[in-house]
């Protein structure tokens, strides 16, 4: 992908990658930094000052250009590439979630990322019947033109990918592209790529997945698709987190019913009680999703929220920071509630939240909620 096609020069692409690889810079703070300072390079120059403004004594690690160039070389040698949110082959629905990742590492066919997609998730310790059903449903939805998205985990994920191999499937990793997990799915990883599918990750090359990285992976699985199907899931499982995230994003949630005696069906049965769409065959999903499209269109008409304009916001004063910090606590609160409580302008609130985020003191939640991490 040429920089002319994406609208970013090679210098800008390097700066973007340096910024998103900086400690405590996530998709939300990345967007706010670009919006505040106009470019990734300007944001990189101002980061140390912003962290000091928050009162943090932490040292922010900003990778130098040589480190990022080494990662870029690694990507090329691996046969992969970086896809920026400004590139035309960035997954279109993923752009419309709250705080989409600005850069994805991708290996495999780019066109599969542009197709309408359905996510399929479920239990790692899947039953033989559940795995067979997941593969069959995925094959049916794939034959209808949908890419199958899943997390390349054991059990239902594996079965879903295998069902979608011949028609196109997308694996989403919690670690770097060169750190597939679990290791026994390395062969499946290669099959997906060789048969016209793709593997994606927002994490750096060499990143070994940790427990806290899997919810981030689940967010991408839910965000890439028009609907999410849960085949088997116990209560308090990662699949139910994916289903909750999908519902919060306005995606459709489907679930396969199961025996009340099987703990692997307790989560899916609960989803059905809460309004998920009962699914026993591929047509249950397809017939529900098709009417959402315009004739011949593969894109849902979802509103794209504009980020707040921070470019002209004056630097927050110390009393402004204290008012925001005092209004925060360990319980997630809506940003609109902070605005009403403090009386500050939305852009002023966003600037203080950005400083706290960079200092590692803020946690962002779905639906525009935030909480303070080091509440005293």
| Extents of the domains making up the chain | 3-84, 110-292, 318-372
The HSE-up count of residue 360 (CA atoms within 13 Å, CB side) is 9
The HSE-up count of residue 95 (CA atoms within 13 Å, CB side) is 19
Nearest to 251 by CA among 138, 119, 142: 119
Structure tokens at 65: 């250009």
Indicate the SS3 state at residue 179. coil
DSSP 8-state secondary structure symbol assigned to residue 183:
G
pLDDT at 265: 92
Nearest to 233 by CA among 266, 276, 275: 266
Structure tokens at 296: 């011949």
Higher pLDDT, residue 170 or 98: 170
pLDDT at 55: 66
Indicate the SS3 state at residue 369. strand
The β-bridge partners of 204 are none
| Percent of the chain topping pLDDT 90 | 64
Structure tokens at 313: 């916001």
- Which residues fall within 8 angstroms of residue 309, CB to CB, at 6 or more apart? 35, 347
Residue 163 pLDDT > 80: yes
Question: What are the C-alpha distances in Å from 196 to residues 81, 116, 118, 189?
Answer: 15, 15, 17, 11
Higher pLDDT, residue 225 or 346: 225
Give the other-Cβ count within 10 Å of 261's Cβ: 7
Q: Which helix (H) or strand (E) holds 335?
A: helix 335-342
Residue 176 pLDDT > 90: yes
Over range 117-146, report the average pLDDT. Answer: 96
Domain at 318-372: CATH architecture? Orthogonal Bundle (1.10)
Residue 271 pLDDT > 90: yes
DSSP 8-state secondary structure symbol assigned to residue 98:
S
Give the other-Cβ count within 10 Å of 250's Cβ: 12
| Percent of the chain topping pLDDT 70 | 90
Q: Whole-angstrom Cα distance, residue 141 to residue 148? A: 8
Q: Whole-angstrom Cα distance, residue 39 to residue 236? A: 41
CATH (residue range 110-292):
3.40.50.450
Q: Whole-angstrom Cα distance, residue 294 to residue 301? A: 9
The β-bridge partners of 253 are 228
Lowest mean pLDDT among 107-111, 137-141, 186-190, 360-364: 360-364
pLDDT at 78: 95
Q: Where are the beta strands (DSSP E) in the chain?
A: 81-84, 103-108, 117-121, 147-150, 169-172, 198-201, 227-230, 252-255, 277-278, 333-334, 362-365, 369-372
Reading phi first (left if > 0) and then psi (alpha if -120 to 50, else beta), residue 67 is in alpha
With cut-offs at 50, 70 and 90, classify the pLDDT of residue 320: confident
pLDDT at 4: 36
pTM, whole model, 2 decimals?
0.87
Residue 303 pLDDT > 50: no
Q: Whole-angstrom Cα distance, residue 222 to residue 242? A: 6
Taking each continuous run of H as one helix and of E as one strand, the counts in the chain are 15, 12
Read off φ and ψ for residue 372, nearest 5 degrees.
-90, 130
With cut-offs at 50, 70 and 90, classify the pLDDT of residue 297: very low
With cut-offs at 50, 70 and 90, classify the pLDDT of residue 236: confident
Give the other-Cβ count within 10 Å of 37's Cβ: 18
Over range 199-221, report the average pLDDT. Answer: 93
Higher pLDDT, residue 142 or 321: 142
CB 63 within 8 A of CB 18: yes
Q: Whole-angstrom Cα distance, residue 74 to residue 69? A: 9
pLDDT at 299: 46
Give the other-Cβ count within 10 Å of 111's Cβ: 12
Over range 153-161, report the average pLDDT. Answer: 97
Q: What is the mean pLDDT of the chain?
A: 88
Nearest to 255 by CA among 286, 274, 277, 227: 277
With cut-offs at 50, 70 and 90, classify the pLDDT of residue 63: very high
Bridge-based pairing of strands 227-230 and 117-121 is parallel
């Amino acid at each position: 992908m040429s920089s002319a096609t994406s609208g970013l020069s090679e210098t800008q692409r390097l700066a973007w990658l340096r910024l998103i690889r900086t400690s405590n810079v996530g998709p939300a703070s990345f967007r706010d930094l670009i919006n505040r300072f106009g470019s990734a390079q300007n944001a990189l120059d101002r980061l140390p000052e912003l962290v000091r403004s928050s009162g943090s004594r932490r040292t922010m690690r900003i990778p130098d250009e040589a480190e990022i160039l080494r990662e870029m070389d690694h990507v090329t040698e691996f046969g992969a590439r970086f896809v920026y949110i400004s590139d035309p082959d960035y997954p279109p629905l993923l752009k419309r979630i709250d705080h989409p990742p600005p850069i994805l590492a991708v290996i495999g066919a780019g066109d599969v990322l542009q197709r309408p997609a359905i996510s399929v998730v479920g239990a790692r310790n899947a039953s033989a019947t559940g795995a067979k059903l997941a593969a069959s449903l995925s094959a049916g939805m794939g034959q209808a033109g949908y890419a199958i998205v899943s997390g390349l985990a054991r059990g239902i994920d594996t079965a879903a990918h295998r069902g979608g191999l011949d028609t196109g499937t997308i694996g989403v990793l919690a670690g770097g592209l060169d750190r597939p997990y679990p290791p026994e799915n390395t062969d499946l990883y290669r099959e997906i790529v060789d048969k016209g599918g793709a593997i994606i990750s927002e994490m750096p090359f060499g990143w070994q997945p940790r427990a806290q990285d899997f919810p981030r992976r689940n967010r991408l699985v839910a965000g890439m698709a028009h609907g999410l199907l849960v085949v088997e899931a116990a209560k308090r499982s990662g699949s139910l987190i994916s289903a909750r995230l999908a519902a919060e994003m306005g995606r459709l949630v489907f679930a396969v019913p199961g025996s009340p005696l099987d703990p692997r069906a307790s989560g899916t049965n609960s989803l059905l009680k809460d309004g998920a769409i009962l699914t026993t065959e591929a047509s249950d999903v397809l017939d529900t999703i098709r009417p959402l499209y315009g004739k011949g269109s593969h894109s849902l008409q979802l509103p794209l929220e504009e980020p707040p304009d921070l470019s002209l916001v004056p630097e927050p004063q110390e009393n402004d920071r204290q008012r925001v910090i005092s209004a925060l606590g360990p319980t997630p609160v809506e940003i609109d509630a902070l605005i009403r409580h403090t009386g500050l302008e939305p852009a002023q609130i966003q600037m203080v939240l950005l400083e706290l985020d960079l200092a590692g003191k803020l946690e962002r939640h779905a639906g525009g909620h935030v909480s303070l991490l080091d509440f005293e």
